[in-house]
Amino acid sequence: MSDTPNLEEEYFKAIDMDRLIAPARATQAPRILLLYGSLRDRSFSRLMTEEAARILARFGAETRTYCPSGLPLPDDAEATHPKVQELRDLVTWSEGMVWCSPERHGAMSGIMKTQIDWIPLALGGVRPTQGKTLAVMQVSGGSQSFNAVNQLRILGRWMRLLTIPNQSSTPKAFLEFDDADRMKPSPFYDRVVDVMEELMKFTMLTRDNTDYLLDRYSERKESAAELSKRVNQKAI
């Protein structure tokens, strides 16, 4: 007699620890997409994102940064809009992401939220964000705050992203960049390096096991029921 009477044994299986411990490893550089949330000429969220991309490249990642200029508001254009398609293609390409927003009125910027709102939970039968890694960062014009990164974490969870524990929040960002738009040495810069290092580690640990990590009892059960339904309909 089963000691899990509420579980349908047909869809219940033991965890394959060997696959978790020693998966087949990908050899290509981790693919990281970076999004920022301001269109100002000297956007500090963009400068922070560019700095993060340099750090990621030093760690061995392949990076691409999306420019949100020209992206329409959600529902104000069709999904075939070129900027929407560019964003969705980059999300599909990526294995991990960095989201960096300025804090405006105690929240992430509308530009940041617009980009996230254009990323669907499902795209052609594929969930483009599920199981991928995410690092969140914010810049502020005043004192240090964590409002934007906290909101980004909620959205990351909603998008089924593996949001890493570490994060970066840089206050008075206008003081942290030199005339060449490079971030000055400081504890805030060190934190950005820490976050990008952690993102790389989590991406490399999880990317080869994404399909397995997302293989769920409830979805196996649901898929089997849907298949059975289709078979029965054909038989009628």
Indicate if the pLDDT at residue 2 is higher than 60: no
User: By CB neighbour count within 10 A (0-12 exposed, 13-18 middle, 19+ buried), where does 110 fall?
Assistant: middle
Which residues pair with residue 32 across a beta bridge?
63, 96
Per-residue pLDDT, 3: 62
Q: Does 11 map to a domain?
A: no
Q: Does 21 map to a domain?
A: no
Indicate if the pLDDT at residue 225 is higher than 90: no
Per-residue pLDDT, 14: 66
Q: Does 20 map to a domain?
A: no
* Rounded-to-integer distance, Cα 218 and Cα 216, Å: 6
Q: Does 19 map to a domain?
A: no
**Binning pLDDT at 50, 70 and 90, where does residue 122 land?**
confident
* Rounded-to-integer distance, Cα 81 and Cα 95, Å: 24
Cβ-based neighbours of 167, under 8 Å, separated by 6 or more: 135, 136, 137, 146, 149, 153, 195
Q: Does 213 map to a domain?
A: yes
55-69, 140-154, 218-232, range with the lowest pLDDT: 218-232
Q: Which residue has the higher pLDDT, 205 or 100?
A: 100
**Per-residue pLDDT tens over the stretch 72-112:** 999 999 999 999 999 999 999 999 999 999 999 999 999 99
DSSP string, 123-148: BTTB-SSTT-EEEEEEE-SSS---HH
CATH number, domain containing residue 59: 3.40.50.360
Q: Does 161 map to a domain?
A: yes
Domain count, the chain: 1
**Per-residue pLDDT tens over the stretch 92-102:** 999 999 999 99
Which domain range does residue 198 map to?
A: 27-235
Q: Does 150 map to a domain?
A: yes
Q: Does 6 map to a domain?
A: no
Distance, CA of 161 to chain centre:
5
Indicate if the pLDDT at residue 229 is higher than 90: no
| Averaged pLDDT for residues 137-166 | 96
**Per-residue pLDDT tens over the stretch 21-36:** 766 777 789 999 999 9
**Binning pLDDT at 50, 70 and 90, where does residue 1 land?**
very low
Query: What integer best gives the mean pLDDT of the chain?
Result: 90
